[in-house]
Amino acid sequence: KNQVEQSPQSLIILEGKNCTLQCNYTVSPFSNLRWYKQDTGRGPVSLTIMTFSENTKSNGRYTATLDADTKQSSLHITASQLSDSASYICVVSDRGSTLGRLYFGRGTQLTVWP
Amino acid sequence: EADIYQTPRYLVIGTGKKITLECSQTMGHDKMYWYQQDPGMELHLIHYSYGVNSTEKGDLSSESTVSRIRTEHFPLTLESARPSHTSQYLCASSESGQGSTDTQYFGPGTRLTVL
Of A43, A101, A104, the CB nearest to B42: A104
Chain A, chain B: beta-carbon pairs less than 8 Å apart:
45
How wide is the angle at C-alpha B9 spanned by C-alphas B3 and B15, nearest 5°?
Answer: 140
Of A41, A100, A109, the CB nearest to B102: A100
What tens digit of pLDDT does each residue of B43-75 get? 999 999 999 999 999 888 788 999 999 999 999
CA-nearest residue to B47 within chain A is A99
Calculate mean pLDDT across residues A2-24: 96
In the predicted structure, residue B97 carries a pLDDT above the cut 70: no
Phi/psi of residue B11, each to 5°?
A: -145, 125
User: Between B26 and B100, whose confidence is greater?
Assistant: B26
B111 touching A (Cβ < 8 Å): yes
Taking contacts as CB-CB distances below 8 angstroms, the residues of chain A near B91 are 43
In the predicted structure, residue B9 carries a pLDDT above the cut 60: yes
Calculate mean pLDDT across residues B107-113: 96
Could you tell me the sign of the dihedral formed by the alpha carbons of A79, A85, A86, A89, in that order? positive
Helix (H) or strand (E) run with residue A75 in it: strand A72-77
What's residue A65's pLDDT?
97
Q: Bridge-partner residues for A11, per DSSP?
A: A110
> CA–CA separation, A93 vs B46, rounded Å?
17
Q: Are B48 and B113 in contact (CB under 8 A)?
A: no
> CA–CA separation, B89 vs B111, rounded Å?
6
> Does the distance separating the beta carbons of B106 and A41 come in below 8 Å?
no
Calculate mean pLDDT across residues B10-27: 96
* 3-state SS assignment for residue A84: helix
Proportion of chain A above pLDDT 90, given as a percent: 75
Q: How far is CA B5 from the centre of its chain?
A: 10
How many other CB atoms are found less than 10 A from the CB of residue A75? 24
Q: Helix count (H) and strand count (E) of chain A?
A: 0, 11
How many CA within 13 A on the CB side of residue A91?
A: 25
Q: Are B31 and B96 in contact (CB under 8 A)?
A: yes
What's residue B99's pLDDT?
58
What tens digit of pLDDT does each residue of A58-109 get? 999 999 999 999 999 999 999 999 999 999 999 998 865 455 678 999 999 9
What's residue B61's pLDDT?
79
Rounded to the nearest integer, the mean pLDDT of chain A is 92
Q: Bridge-partner residues for B20, per DSSP?
A: B77
> Does the distance separating the beta carbons of B90 and A49 come in below 8 Å?
no
